[in-house]
A = this chain, B = another copy of it.
Amino acid sequence: MGRKLRRSSRLVDMTQHLLEHPYKLIPLTLFAEQFGSAKSSISEDLSIIKELFEYKGSGLLKTVAGAAGGVKYIPLLKRELAETVVQEICVALEKSERLLPGGYLYMSDILGNPETLNKIGKIMATVFAEREIDVVMTVETKGIPLAYATANYLNTPVVIVRRDSKVTEGSVVSINYVSGSSKRIQTMSLARRVMPEKSKVLIIDDFMKAGGTARGMIDLLKEFNAKVVGLGVLAEAADVEERLIDDYVSLAKIAHLDARNREIKVNPGNFLSQMCH
């Protein structure tokens, strides 16, 4: 660009650049050269941005010193804001018209709204901020937007497991798994080349009942020598006799679902206990 920008313009540009490149180490020289400014001015700019992000609870700027150093934006949603978002989702989920056969709730409107998805994705990114994550994985279909929103804040690729084996993506690994609630045998597949061996994987899904699908994804990952570093769901069902998964994070928990009287009670899930920020 080359044109020398004033501090005010630099701040706008740097804010945009940082927000668009989370978890990426940006050398201060990149900004300095682009703006024709001294590194000391850039450092002052960054401390203004850092202070504002912390004041608003919208993320951290981490500075890494030294020649290979730079600045990294870590998107975070502070506790109170996360609680408010989840509270709103719980209220929205309690509407009786959401009741679907089989103890499921209609959530496509929530999962189709970009602003809501971004907030949920940012909460997931906050919960799993301390884990080392190479890839976010989900299974088609409803979990995809949420996985993408989460990966957007973590700046990692998304990998989508397919529910059939007729996948035209080269060689494919398929497994059979037993759906925890319906006890039916189902298939899921992942193309070999979509995920490098030994990847560290965060699994994201929209809903967890008995956990059969999550269990299937974990088994599938063994075929890739991958490591599951976390499992996050938007909502979990409460009336589960035997859950196949213990270690997971949920934002909301359906505490009570009475299909006959059309009553739903939804509480916040266990995510708050998992937030270190």
A-side interface residues toward B, CB under 8 Å? 1, 3, 5, 7-9, 11-13, 15-16, 19-21, 48-49, 51-53, 55-56, 58, 100-102, 104, 106, 108-109, 112-115, 117-118, 140-142, 144-145, 148-149, 151-152, 155-160, 162, 168-170, 191, 193-194
Q: Which of B5, B20, B48 contacts A8 (CB 8 A)?
A: B48
With a cutoff of 8 Å between Cβ atoms, the chain B residues found around residue A1 in the complex are 55-56
A222 and B56 alpha carbons, distance in the complex (Å) = 45
Q: Which residue of B lies closest to A104 (CB)?
A: B168
User: 12 new A-B pairs (CB below 8 Å) besides A16-B58, A106-B193, A144-B144?
Assistant: A9-B48, A9-B52, A9-B55, A11-B15, A15-B15, A101-B168, A104-B168, A108-B194, A112-B158, A112-B160, A118-B152, A148-B149
Distance to closest chain B CB from A277 (angstroms): 18
Distance to closest chain B CB from A36 (angstroms): 14
With a cutoff of 8 Å between Cβ atoms, the chain B residues found around residue A56 in the complex are 1, 13, 16
With a cutoff of 8 Å between Cβ atoms, the chain B residues found around residue A113 in the complex are 157
Interchain CB contact under 8 A, A160 and B148: no
- The 8 A-B pairs with the shortest beta carbon distances in the complex, nearest first, are A15-B15, A12-B52, A112-B157, A144-B144, A112-B158, A140-B141, A114-B152, A9-B52
Chain A interface main SS type: helix
With a cutoff of 8 Å between Cβ atoms, the chain B residues found around residue A142 in the complex are 160
Given known contacts A12-B48, A101-B168, A157-B113, A20 and B118 CB-to-CB distance under 8 angstroms:
yes
Q: Which residue of B lies closest to A11 (CB)?
A: B11
With a cutoff of 8 Å between Cβ atoms, the chain B residues found around residue A55 in the complex are 1, 3, 9
With a cutoff of 8 Å between Cβ atoms, the chain B residues found around residue A118 in the complex are 20, 152
Q: Which of B49, B112, B115, B194 contacts A194 (CB 8 A)?
A: B112
Interchain CB contact under 8 A, B58 and A100: no
Q: Which residue of B lies closest to A149 (CB)?
A: B148
